[in-house]
Amino acid sequence: MNAQLTPSFTRTSAALALILGAALIGATTAQAQPGMGGPGGPAMDIGSKVEYMTKQLDLTPEQQEQVRAILEKTRQEQMRLRQENRAQIDALLTEEQKAKRTERQLKAVNRQVERLTDRLDLTDEQADQLKALFTEQRQSRALSRDQMHERMAAILTADQLAEFEQGRGRGPGGHGRGGCPGY
């Protein structure tokens, strides 16, 4: 066998290594932006990630707890860093720039609620409650994915919540493109 590698083989091997590395990182990344991910991806909640990794890697109960602790610590650190970054950026912005950002956030929340109203047939009261919840989350990012889900569950009917989860790819297995809008 020829010990010399062709440039094409080397590029293919490098690309495969990058894809594998990205997949492994994605499976263990904690919370990310809404709408990102897929099975094992960054938008999954911690419980779903541990469940997914257990199925894929046959984790022992001890490993599951260790992975859960790592993901929770990472999620908390990411939340702290986001809040720190936000404070640093806020210190740089003028009042006009802050107002523009707030306006953009409100428009995004309104679009989210309009889409949900059309899809889930929300009442005016439900739409207002979701607007307030999404606005709170967009401005502070203080609520976890699970907290957002709990608060949404208190606003939506059981049928609406099931439809929401199905539409977000979070069917019975809990895996999918993301969770609640705004986090």
pLDDT score at 127: 94
Percent of the chain with pLDDT over 70: 68
Q: What's the mean pLDDT when you consider all of the chain?
A: 77
pLDDT score at 3: 52
Residue 155 near residue 129, CB atoms below 8 Å: yes
Q: Which tokens in the block code for residue 101?
A: 């950002």
| pLDDT tier for residue 176 given thresholds of 50, 70 and 90 | very low
Distance CA 139, CA 118 (A): 24
| Per-residue pLDDT tens over the stretch 52-84 | 999 999 999 999 999 999 999 998 898 889 889
Q: What angle do CA 132, 89, 77 make, to 5 degrees?
A: 75
Largest CA distance in the chain: 72
pLDDT score at 181: 42
| Per-residue pLDDT tens over the stretch 19-41 | 544 444 444 443 333 333 444 45
Distance CA 60, CA 151 (A): 32
Q: Is the pLDDT of residue 115 over 90?
A: yes
| Per-residue pLDDT tens over the stretch 39-48 | 445 557 888 9
pLDDT score at 114: 95
Q: Which tokens in the block code for residue 85?
A: 């970054």
The more confidently predicted of residues 144 and 130 is 130
Q: Which residues contact 70 (CB under 8 A, 6 or more apart)?
A: 28
| Per-residue pLDDT tens over the stretch 91-114 | 999 999 999 998 998 999 999 999
